Amino acid sequence: MRVEPMRRVAMISLHTSPLDQPGTGDAGGMNVYVIELARQMAAQGIEVDIFTRATSSALDPVVPAGDGVQVRHIHAGPFEGLSKGELPGQLCVFAREVLRAEATQPLGHYDVVHSHYWLSGQVGALARDRWGVPLVHSMHTMAKVKNAALAEGDTPEPMARIIGEEQVVEAADMLIANTDLEAQQLVSLYDAEPARVEVVHPGVDLDVFRPYDQATVRAELGLPRDAAVLLFAGRIQPLKAPDVLLRAVAELLVQQPELRSRLVVPIVGGPSGSGLEHPESLAQLSSHLGLDDVVRFVPPVAQAELARWCSAATLVAVPSYNESFGLVAAEAQATGTPVVAAAVGGLTTVVRDGYSGLLVDGHEPRAWADALRRVVQDDALRLRLEGGALEQARRFSWERTAERTLAVYRRAHAEMAQSLA
């Protein structure tokens, strides 16, 4: 059967808008993923509508996000004060409004539904059946994986989410995994059919994340020219483990007290998730460890500004307990900055140990301090890693991500058409 060319895609990102500033609240790598993927698809002639929940009455119902991309704000629940854990109660309203928006269009308006995160997958499964188009789903994070690697004091994901994820895996026509490891976890933990899982790496905007002159950006950011800059960028929550970096820095200064005079540790981001319960806890830990003279807390910044911070850094630390991919690590490497990362999840794909950065087993402060010290003090190693970081980053581009994702869409569309023939 002849399959018509792909024309329009409905993306669903219920709990966080791609227009939100990454680095605070629930906005992070997934926001970047959704908007960059949509824009690259639009550049290839595909129209993309992104459905997300409205969080302010001031938001226009439809906001253009580039040629061929529209963000559609759906009213479901109160605009503010609704936690991610309370969102399942708004799924019915959100789904109804998504279906209503499509009902105003000619029959067959969308060719495929691509849902992001399990809450969106629940809505996507309903839209799939109503519209008669395939559902492609990206998990981004998985409860069973997160619960197996909880940070100390973090809250396990609830059984309702686990059940919801299992339902989405069963309903989806195709599942997109960020890495081979994630694909294996979908099969082993969620009984996904291997034939319905495709690995598509996320990308990096190599026009934005590129090397800047370090002396220039340090001067502009108020950083000493000769500083050892150990950067953390991301949401401040136990899962991302910025506390591991602070404890490692404290250990490093015990071993090498002479480093204190030129050490700067910027923490770029805002509280999120369970970190919202104690937004001041990381600053209190910094004071407790005697690091107030070296730690700088910086509010979340736009992508272009983050690229400048990464270029200014000696290294970027990514000590997370789990990452489905680790977009910050890929972005940092694209600026030519080595990454010191936890050897978990997608970070083992993004960071090439000993070539573009260093991977650290576990989260013990002494092991992390040793890795930080190696990069800071071994000039030959650092220069080698800087070159390797640039090479490694070239493996990841949003154009390639879009091309491979469109191939998954076309396969799902063709298989559905064949099954109905």
Order of strands across the sheet that contains 174-177:
62-64, 69-74, 47-53, 8-12, 112-116, 135-138, 174-177, 197-199
Task: Find out whether 357 is annotated in a ligand binding site.
Answer: no
Task: Find out whether 337 is annotated in a ligand binding site.
Answer: yes
Task: Find out whether 322 is annotated in a ligand binding site.
Answer: no
Task: Find out whether 26 is annotated in a ligand binding site.
Answer: yes
Task: Find out whether 110 is annotated in a ligand binding site.
Answer: no
Number of other residues whose CB lies within 10 A of the CB of residue 101: 17
Residue 26 DSSP label: T
Task: Find out whether 141 is annotated in a ligand binding site.
Answer: yes
* Nearest partner of 326 among 344, 312, 338, judged by Cα: 344
DSSP per-residue codes, 43-94 = HTT-EEEEEEE---TTS-SEEE-STTEEEEEEP-S-SSS--GGGGGGGHHHH
Task: Find out whether 405 is annotated in a ligand binding site.
Answer: no
Question: Is-contact 241 320, C-beta < 8 A?
Answer: yes
Task: Find out whether 15 is annotated in a ligand binding site.
Answer: yes
Task: Find out whether 170 is annotated in a ligand binding site.
Answer: no
Task: Find out whether 21 is annotated in a ligand binding site.
Answer: yes
Task: Find out whether 27 is annotated in a ligand binding site.
Answer: yes
DSSP per-residue codes, 126-140 = HHHHHHT--EEEE-S
Euclidean distance between CA atoms 251 and 186, whole angstroms: 38
Six token digits for residue 252: 């490093």
Six token digits for residue 73: 């704000």
| Alpha-carbon distances of 279 from 226, 241, 291, rounded to whole Å | 31, 14, 18
Task: Find out whether 1 is annotated in a ligand binding site.
Answer: no
Task: Find out whether 132 is annotated in a ligand binding site.
Answer: no
Number of other residues whose CB lies within 10 A of the CB of residue 286: 23
Task: Find out whether 117 is annotated in a ligand binding site.
Answer: yes
Which helix H or strand E contains 319, and what residues bound it? none
Task: Find out whether 144 is annotated in a ligand binding site.
Answer: no
Task: Find out whether 301 is annotated in a ligand binding site.
Answer: yes
Euclidean distance between CA atoms 138 and 254, whole angstroms: 44
Task: Find out whether 256 is annotated in a ligand binding site.
Answer: no
Task: Find out whether 235 is annotated in a ligand binding site.
Answer: yes
Binding residues for 1D-myo-inositol 3-phosphate: 15, 26-31, 84, 117, 141, 161
Binding residues: 15, 21-22, 26-31, 84, 117, 141, 161, 235, 240, 301, 313, 323, 331, 337
Binding residues for Mg(2+): 313, 337
Binding residues for UDP-N-acetyl-alpha-D-glucosamine: 21-22, 29, 235, 240, 301, 323, 331
